[in-house]
Amino acid sequence: MSKNFDSPYDLSEGERYAHRWGYTDTRFDFDGPKSVCVTGSRYPLSGYSMPNFIPFLEEVLDITIEKDDASDEIAEKEVPEPHINEAFLAEIRKALDPDQVSVDGKSRLIHSHGQLSVDEIYKVLYGDPFKRVVDLVVYPKNEDEVRKIVEMARTHDVCIVPYGGGTNVSGALACPPEERRMIVSVDMRLMDQIIWLDEENHLACVEAGISGKRLEIELQKRGYTSGHDPDSVELATLGGWIATNASGMKKNRYGNIEEIVLEATLITPTGDVETKHVTPRNSTGIQPRSFLFGSEGNFGIISKAVIKIHPTPAARKYGLLIFPTFERGVEFLRALRGTGTIPASIRLGNNVEFRFGFAMKREPTFCGSLLQKIQKIFIHKIKGFDDQKMVACTVLMEGNTQEVRHQGKSIFGLAGKFGGINGGESNGRRAYAAIFAIAYLRDFVNRLHILGETFETSVPWNKIHQVTQAVGKELVSQAEHHNIPGKPYLAFRIPQTYHTGVCIYFTMGFYTKGLDDPSGVYHKIEQRLRQVILDNGGSLSHHHGVGKIRKGFLPQIQTQNSMNVMRKAKEAMDPGNIFGAGNGVFGETD
């Protein structure tokens, strides 16, 4: 392991939850009537009481939360009987080892959903069974086995759904309820090796089933990094990143996934799609690799990819900036873009996110409490910041020592021109790392009848406030229309900036106790907010993908001929619709 490797997440392996997010040693739980903690020791948030968190939720949602009011997970999950194609099953059992083929109900249910909060996880945990699940799960160990599986599926007219880390939040893994053929989930996670590494040209060929965490561990042993650092890095796979056209927190330095991957292999029913020679760039007509990014399992199975690798940075430094308002923070981000001195990661949250971060802190010691009082005097009395308006910006700088020093001087110097003050390196490190544990919070608040989910968009610089304000206004209106108890929750942040605009990442939630159809109401509100984003100049998605929950919006953003072109391309690669998950333009758009 490289001596410079400083991971913001835990590198140890662990048992994963069957349906919920993450590892079984970690969960949010009550440790008092109004206090919570994160179990285990995997994350910086783990192992201490957070006495302010429940009061924060009660304040922003305008409700009262009682520990004894939590719902219990349904112990026995209802799983439909499998649709078995006996000829295919007999042939696949001859081709693979017994432990590579499973008809077990628990395994089938696990492989029939991603991590979409309400439409998937809430239904699984609290008793709304899926109408259709996969009928078989197979685990190939190499490309030849993948090709055999695809060929057998073509011969026997079986539907295939590729499976990576199971972390998508677009409904892409949901089985089409009308599918009458046998549905086979192809779990790629046994294909998790670095095939070769070219140090001279800074390239690596990697199997697609490798998780982000394992990829970084193996690269760091050799002194390298991929630089791809999404919130789901511990669990998501390389193939999944390509299939969803993913983005990571450090894309400023290393690029989004389409810039990291130079070439990949797609195994389809009509043969492999790939370029035979990997070069830095070429002009050889329309690139077949373009069909991989955002393909969402519709064309074939991604088996391996050639990616760029970078020497582990010699220096890494975190920072935190506090601005008096979100608007001033946005002005700073835009000005920073103009300087060309962009850190590996910079993330600006709104005031709700800022207060959320404080609610996650532990009870301070006497000295800590005294320090907090001094800081408050400086921030509020001297600087004139308002608790209900101030925001925070998390910074991560990477590179050589001189580069990081220059970035820090430039970034923090510029921030001062927009009223920003330095919040400290330790707070910056903690804020950056906290993002990896926050995903566990969803399953905790679901138990308390609070449904929440994230959704994202990309917008031009001049549409940022228009979009965020329109979403906030519409959410309040929808909450009133559906008689939501208390007040809805809306937090948002800008995790990515570009020359022409930004990504906005929303977290929305509300209290549902007493509603007749909580998940139905949530779905209607969320769909309405997506429409508001489109109406105000935002994109349908920045990095989550389309899947099934956004496919109905596609006619608003693509011409009919554009969608027809993509469908014709699928016919060339998959004329029998063997890859029939029906995501994006390949599903019904009502």
Q: Per the structure block, which two tokens stand in for 316? A: 């890494």
- Is residue 114 within 8 Å of 63, Cβ to Cβ? no
How many angstroms separate the CA atoms of 420 and 392, rounded? 9
pLDDT at residue 367, rounded to an integer: 47
How many angstroms separate the CA atoms of 396 and 248, rounded? 13
How many angstroms separate the CA atoms of 528 and 534, rounded? 10
pLDDT tens by residue, 242-296: 999 999 999 999 999 999 999 999 999 999 999 888 999 889 898 888 899 999 9
CA distances from 426 to 94, 409, 499 (A): 56, 17, 29
- The yes-or-no verdict on residue 194 having pLDDT over 70 is yes
Q: Calculate helix-pair angle for 401-416, 326-339, nearest 10 degrees.
A: 140
pLDDT at residue 277, rounded to an integer: 85
Report the share of the chain in percent with pLDDT over 70: 96
User: 86-123+133-183 in CATH: which number?
Assistant: 3.30.43.10
How many angstroms separate the CA atoms of 118 and 527, rounded? 13
How many angstroms separate the CA atoms of 215 and 233, rounded? 9
Q: Does domain 194-311 have CATH number 3.30.465.10?
A: yes
226 vs 367: which has the higher pLDDT: 226
pLDDT at residue 12, rounded to an integer: 92
CA distances from 278 to 204, 205, 208, 264, 334 (A): 11, 10, 17, 10, 36
pLDDT tens by residue, 155-169: 999 999 999 999 999
pLDDT tens by residue, 60-114: 999 999 999 999 999 899 999 999 999 999 999 999 999 999 999 999 999 999 9
- The yes-or-no verdict on residue 364 having pLDDT over 80 is no
pLDDT tens by residue, 171-190: 999 999 999 999 999 999 99
pLDDT at residue 58, rounded to an integer: 97
- The yes-or-no verdict on residue 374 having pLDDT over 50 is no
| Nearest in space to 260 (alpha carbons), one of 218, 211, 309, 223 | 309
Domain ranges of the chain: 86-123+133-183, 194-311, 315-438, 449-542
How many angstroms separate the CA atoms of 56 and 370, rounded? 22
Under DSSP, the state recorded for 587 is S
The answer to whether the 194-311 and 315-438 domains have the same CATH topology is no
Q: Whats the size of the chain, residue-wise?
A: 590
Sign of CA dihedral 28, 31, 36, 41: negative
Sign of CA dihedral 322, 323, 325, 329: negative
Phi (first) and psi of residue 50, to 5 degrees: -120, 85
pLDDT at residue 2, rounded to an integer: 47
| Nearest in space to 23 (alpha carbons), one of 37, 35, 38 | 38
Q: Per the structure block, which two tokens stand in for 233? A: 């890095």
pLDDT tens by residue, 313-332: 999 999 999 999 999 999 99
pLDDT at residue 362, rounded to an integer: 84
Confidence of residue 381 (pLDDT cuts 50, 70, 90): low
What's the rounded mean pLDDT across residues 435-441? 92
The one-letter amino acid at 447: R
- The yes-or-no verdict on residue 3 having pLDDT over 90 is no
Residue 415, C-beta contacts closer than 8 angstroms, at least 6 positions apart = 321, 323, 332, 393, 421, 422
User: 315-438 in CATH: which number?
Assistant: 3.30.70.3450
- The yes-or-no verdict on residue 369 having pLDDT over 90 is no
pLDDT at residue 363, rounded to an integer: 76
| Nearest in space to 532 (alpha carbons), one of 514, 549, 553 | 553
CA 46 from chain centre, in angstroms, equals 21
- Is residue 43 within 8 Å of 438, Cβ to Cβ? no
Protein fold of 449-542: GMP Synthetase; Chain A, domain 3 (3.30.300)
pLDDT tens by residue, 103-147: 999 999 999 999 999 999 999 999 888 999 999 999 999 999 999
pLDDT at residue 382, rounded to an integer: 61
Q: Per the structure block, which two tokens stand in for 477? A: 């209106």
How many angstroms separate the CA atoms of 521 and 488, rounded? 13
Sign of CA dihedral 289, 291, 293, 299: negative
| Nearest in space to 579 (alpha carbons), one of 254, 89, 175 | 175
Give the start-end residues of each E strand in 333-429: 345-349, 391-399, 421-422
Catalytic residues: 505
